[in-house]
Each structure stands twice: as C-alpha cells, then as structure tokens.
Structure 1
C-alpha cells in the first residue's frame, strides 16, 4: 500500500525518500543518454546517413517538448506521483522498443525515440518539482539544483558505459539496453512507495503556457539561459566523434562516450559551482563557457588537432551545468507552487530546442554541418549574444531575487553581485 499523501507546504518526506527519488532521476537520465553510442552504431550498421543520426536526436527532442508542455501542467492538477509513475512505465516500453530496432530498423528507432522523449520529459520536469517539494520550502533551491546535478551525472555515466559496451563487448545492440531495462524496472518499484506531495493548491484546470507574472523573467532570463544548455552539448554527441573518426580512430563509440562523459561530468560539477555563484552570475558565465567551447571546438576540427576535443568538451560541460542549474533555480523562484510545473516545463522546452540544433542546422546548411568550422564560429557568436542578453535584461528581470538564508544553497542574488 502506498504511503499517505504529504502536504507540500509542510512536508514530512524523509531524506531516504529524497535519495530514492534521486535514484529514479539518475536512472531516467542514464537511460536517456546511454542510447547515444547505440544510435551511432545503428547508423553505421544499417548504412544510414549522418542526417538520420541527427533525426534520431530530434525526434527524441520532439517527444521531450511535448511532455514538457503537457506533463508539468498536468502534474499541477493531478499530482506529481500521478505523472511520474506512468511515465516510468512508458519509458520501460520505449527501452523494449529500442531493443526491437534490430529487427524493424529505422521506423522502430524513430518511434521508440519519440516514446522515450515523452516519458523522459515528464520524468525530468515533474520529478524535479517533486524532489523540490519533498525537500520543503527552506531547501527548495538546493533540491532543485541537486536534481540537475543528479541528472547530469546520469547523462555522463550512461553514454560512457554504453560506449565501452558497444565498442568492446558482444551483443552491441542489446547489452546496453538490458542494463537500462533493469534500472527502469527498479525505478518502478521505488516510485510505488514514494508519497505524493501536491495535496493542496492544485490548479482547477490544466494550464499550458507561462504562469501570470513570469513573462519578463522567462523571455529575458530563462529563454537565453535555456538555449545555452544543449546547443553546444550536441557537438560532443555528433561532431566530435565523427571528426575523430575521420582522424583515423577506430574506437569511435568509446570516443563518443568519453566526450559525453567529459561534458556531463563538468556539467555536474558546474551545478555545485552554480550554487555558490547564484543565478545572477551563473547565467552569463555559462554563455562565456559556451563561446569558449566553440572556439576550442573550432581548433579541434582542424587537420591533426583532434586533442582540442578534450578541453572543448570540458568548457561545453561548464556551460551546460551552469545554465541548467541557474535556469531551474530561477523557474522555482518565479512561479507559485501550483504553477511551478508549468513554468519549469516551458523552460525545458527551450532547453531541448538546442537538442534539435543539428537537424535545424543541417536543414539550413546541408549535410555534415555540425563538424564544419564555420558552424562552430556561428555557434560561438550565438553564445556571446546570449551572454549579453542574460547579463543585461536578464539581470534586471531577476533583480528582486531574494538573499539566501543560511539554510539555502543559493548564496548570491543581490543586484550588486550579479
């Protein structure tokens, strides 16, 4: 029998329950990115094009954005557990479908990736809000950033482990998915025993879009900040492995996993750095890190200069972690409890527009876009523009950010410190 519901305004969730929910978020993020090396394997094994590879990521992002638009608002009405538990079931089905791609090929991959996106999107957004409410008002900022850090760790470990499995162990189409299947099954067992938090203050109807009073903060801060998260991260998943393969490396699946590990590992570390910086500074520093990653990436795609991939991935990871953590914290601050799911969902929609950047760029500039030097220069300029937006209008939009109390993780927010 499930525990009694918990009042979100006065939670009684234990530290153990919060840890268990963190394990579920880790499993979801691990599953989300562990497929990346397998997608590259499928592309080569089924003789598909690089555009097909980018499409696998874009379809996943489309599912994510659909879940972000609907999942958060639905959870504001029906409750957090009521959304997360069925989403985990859907994720289990997606993993099974990906395993079936060995028989059904590209159509099954596309369908499975879309389903995975829908399930993952609901787990990421609603799970983050759920953890925040479990922690209570005093520790809300810390819990929000902890969720970002846990997911970044899953995003890092997943492709690294999968890259090694695909590169060197038998059954490259199945072994990675068998591990994720076990993790998602375990998550289902965990979720059944966790309490609901949103028992009061639920919305009377599903509200999709920006909650009242949050437009300025969203467009001036959350939008540019969200675009910094994954636009540059996709270089590590597509451009860098392809470029290193052209340089003569045979272990391209391991390279993909290593590049993703560096990016997401630095993203996880940056989450804790963001706690000290506060959103006023973390946002524009993320933009500078993204520009630096593009500059180093430009060096890496020059003949014989592949080693620049490593510092480029590190800089991109810092941009990812700082922008994600600060965006989640600002979303948590701007919206009231009953509409927090809607706002963070809108933020994640922007975040995963960047995840679709390879396909969008290939539509504009043609094939092999992501590994071209001029693409990296353009992305670097874009990062600087987002930096300027966050440092000016974004700073003004959050000028009333409250000073952190001794028990909170955000230590800086006054306008003079931004």
Structure 2
C-alpha cells in the first residue's frame, strides 16, 4: 500500500519543510480527529524535548478540537509512555511528536492505537484520505475540549517499577543513565534510583536544541567514558524519545540490541519463563541466530522497524523481539519498544543470576558486521537497480555462503543503508566499501538526470 506521507515509523522530516510545517500539522490533527473521534473518548498528545514540539503540539491540538475530538496533553514524555497512557486513559489514540534519534532540526509524528500499538497501514491510509479533503470545523457546540494531564510522569514511573519483581532490589549497583537530553530526562533516573540503584544521570538538561547531541543510544561514547571514570557496573543509553536502549558494560564495551535480546531470552529460558522464539530483523547479527539455535531458541527475522517486529511477534504468538539499534519489544509486559522496560529486564537477569553484563553474554559471538549509510538526494529502491543487484551477487559470491549482504532504503531519512556480514573482517570491510561506492555511483547518476 503506497502512502503519501507515512514512512516506516510515522511522518518525519526537517522542521519547516513540507510536510513538517505548522499548516500541515493543523490539517493532520483535523484528519486524525476525523478518524479517531468517538463519544466520551479523547486523543492523547505527547512530545519529546525538541523546541519545535511546542509549535506542533498547538497546531495538532487546534486541528483535533476543530474536528470535534477531545485532547489530553501530557507534555514531554517517552514514546512508550504514550503507548501505555493511551491504554490506561482509555483514549481512542495517542500521538507522539518526535523524530526519535534524529537531531533537533527534525521532527515527526507517530500514532498509537487505543490498544497501545502502532496504528495499521489501513488507519494511516484513512488519515491520508482526510488530509486530501477540505477542512471543515464542526459547529461551535461540538468543538472538542483540551486539558493537560499533570501526573503523567508519575503514572509511567510507577508502571515501569511495577514490571520489576516485588522484593527484588538494585541496591549495590552503580548505574550511569544517559537520557540524551530527551523525553526520559525526568523519568528514567527516578525509575532506577527508586528501585535502589546508585544512579548518576547525564543528558538530563534539555534546552530544546541539544536532544541527541553527542549523547544517547546513537552516540554512546560519552556514556562509555562516564562508566569507566565512575567505575560503574552498567551504563544505560536511551535515545531522544526513549524507545531505544544501548548498554555499556563495566569494561566500557558498548552492547547493542542483539546483546540485549540474547541476555533477556537466555535468562527467561534459564528461569523457566520462556516460550516460543525471538524475532529479530534483517539487520540482526547472524551470530545471534546461531547462538539461539545452539540454545534451542527459535528465531525469525522481520523487516527493519519495530512495527514489523511487533507484527511478526503477534503472528507467531511470541513475546520477545527487537533490533540491533536498540528497539526491544517485551510483549509480555508492554506493547511497543521501551528502553527503560528493556533495561529493567537486563538488570533483573544481572541481579537474579548475580552476574555482570559481560558474564551474561558468554556464549554469544558476533560475526563481523559493517554498516555504511549513504546519503542520497532522494531515496530509491536498491532492488530496482540492475547494477546494484549485480554488485550484491558479486559480494555474495565472495562470502561463499558464510555471510549476508543487505542494501535498503531508510524509511525515515534520505539514506541507503549498506550492510555486510561475514566470518572474515577484512573481506567484510572490502565488500562494504565496494557496495557503498556502487550505491554512490547510482545516486550520482540519478542526481545528474
């Protein structure tokens, strides 16, 4: 189903450039109001800390009430918190104003259903239908009402703490928490400290412009330095909207979403709480698949994007899935990727097994994997380019069945992602550079047309 505005994770782009403009957000709010308005129901709006969020919050609010729907504003809150609050407030939908891990110059919109999951392609298509219709305001007596929810942060903190076993404490653990100056700045440190950990929080002074700036899940070097300097047991890095998790062990080694999945799945297996299998993505390391196979854990790959991980989890009836980027979905606990919840599952394994993070990862050996992002003027489908298909075939021949090649267009940025994985690091480096150059050649040719 071809969509005009929605990508793999909502609508996203540079602020001030279509469609990320106040005018469009006004119309989007109205379109969402048409789709989601129900008697005695409301639409929640949350946001991260980027400065443009206030502008778009007002525009969306105006559009929604103009359609005759009620609005509840929760202010800066993590994306997974909106999913949770949408369910608990019995709202008809939740809206998050965020560009996730992107810089403050970008922004975007994500929608959650009443059940707390990402909305379907059909709902997105319905919203796009109304975006193309004339905007008509309901009569004055039917205009929606808006108000703020003041205790949203406290509700979510208690929910997160409630996912940790009663009687289990984090006492004795020293944790560095990097909130990326994003939406978790007032939530994550409290969750871990109230469970007993000694918490040193960084990235908790958002000014509207510093979200994801040299910190957080996409840039864990600051966290790594702090873990080593403070002699911490663990470093937790969240991204700007709190749905990604990257860890740093006590030795300063950065651990990604594949590592998190390995730890959680094996702990569930060892404690007799595991069933089914684990969903990864096309980007998941082959070493993870191999390790799960050796441990008797099923593994299935979804397309890149946490919504596709969720869809495959529901199809299989499984509860654990995620991406190397740090989106981890624990469907036995929540409905979407949640960095804080995932971190708590890792901490539970550390406490119950009395092991450090690196000890929990024994038995997991990753294949060398290299990823290059090639910025292009306009995204294109590598599968539709004969020269790139020929290059992929050549790379696969070189790997001789002991690796993988993946070229795909980003769903959120003008990038072509090139990934090569294999047993030999030198060959992987050579092939990823070769394929990146082939992609650049195609992009240059398209730009010159």
Query: What is the TM-score normalised by the length of structure 2?
Result: 0.28
Structure possessing the higher relative contact order (Cα contacts under 8 Å, 6 or more residues apart): 1
Q: Which has the higher helix share?
A: 1
Q: Which has the higher strand share?
A: 2
